[in-house]
A and B are shown apart, each in its own frame.
Chain A
Amino acid sequence: MSEEFQYPGSTESGPVSSTRGWRIASVVARDLRAAGGILVLAALLGIGINMLRPDRLAWVRELEDVRLARSVGGGESLFRGEVAVERIGLDEALVAFESGRACFVDARDAEFFELGRIPRSVSLPRNAFRRAYSQISDQLDRGMLIVVYCSESDCQDSDFVARVLERLGYRDVRVFVGGWAEWQAAGLEEEP
């Protein structure tokens, strides 16, 4: 036989097990309401702290290009191509490759890099530049020849990445105009 129990202030009555279930549900509901309040407080605090800091985040996330241009101090000149970058064809790219002293930088998306690339090249995609650069910057020497390429002669990614690298202090940066398409068409060595 179950014992009847009523909490003080409660209008519910019934078996203890059922009342306890309601009690737990009401406590959880109250906690959830309080947690919602904490969420709102956290959002307001977070926004307030963000507004006070010099490196504040924008309300809406900017494109990688814009954030990158701001972080290297290049501004719009990086997009307009006002900074001239030396452009080379397949022959010069091949000479640089065979010399073994140049570093080839692939400016395409990482997915394309994984599918196929010029041997010993490193991935520095335009759309994830800062993150990729933080991982491979120790492989790049500011005095070495850096050859940047993207998918083909019409793509702009290699130009953009090359200009950013120049802004970062790399002194000998060149763009391999024909890119991956020309390299493949010439039947040259590939990775993987």
Chain B
Amino acid sequence: MSWFGVVARVILAAVFLWAGISKLVAPEAFADGVADFQVFPTFMVNLVAMTVPTLEILAAGLLLVGPWKKVGALVALCLAVGFTVLFAWVVLQGRDVQCGCFGGGGEALPAPLGFLRAAVLLVLGGAVYLNELRRVTNCAMPAGTRLK
């Protein structure tokens, strides 16, 4: 497996682990951040704020565990897709958000910067998942099989 695959997977895991723990430490700030996107109905905001940190930590853990790293990459990819869509929505509205993505406090994050950050995660997640997928599907081919 290429060095790129390993390095990208470890970076992705580290980012999600850091983000998940930061959110878990400051749940109220993250719930404020979720509400700040003005996308989720009120009754869902806290449920999302409870779920996302543990999902990020689980994704990070799975990315580092051999048999499950492909699923971990897919979870990370799905999260990154969600973040990218949310930030794209905010960019279109011309607002900034204090998303609490990496813990509470601080200035509001300029939406284009948030979008860019989410897009980088999206590319990284996509690359890691495709890499794992290609590895698995290629391995399943009998040696010498010629693809069209």
* A contacts, CB < 8 Å to B: 2-3, 5, 7, 15-17, 20, 23-24, 27-28, 31-32, 34-35, 38-39, 41-43, 45-47, 49-50, 53, 55-61, 67, 130-131, 134-135
Contacts and interface: CB of A to CB of B under 8 A. Distances in A.
A41 B75 CA distance: 12
Nearest to B32: A131
B147 A23 contact: no
Nearest to B46: A57
A61 B58 contact: no
B96 to A, nearest CB: 11
Interface of B: 24, 27-28, 31-32, 35, 42-43, 45-47, 49-55, 58-59, 62, 70-71, 74-75, 78, 98, 105, 107, 133, 136-137, 140-142, 145-148
Contacts of B58: 38, 41-42, 45
B94 to A, nearest CB: 12
A16 B50 contact: no
A17 to B, nearest CB: 4
A24 B141 CA distance: 12
Given A2-B148, A24-B137, A50 B42 contact: no
Q: Which 3 A-B pairs have the closest CB atoms?
A: A42-B55, A46-B50, A17-B148
Given A46-B51, A46-B54, A57-B50, A20 B59 contact: no
Contacts of A53: 27
A43 B74 contact: no
B107 A135 contact: yes
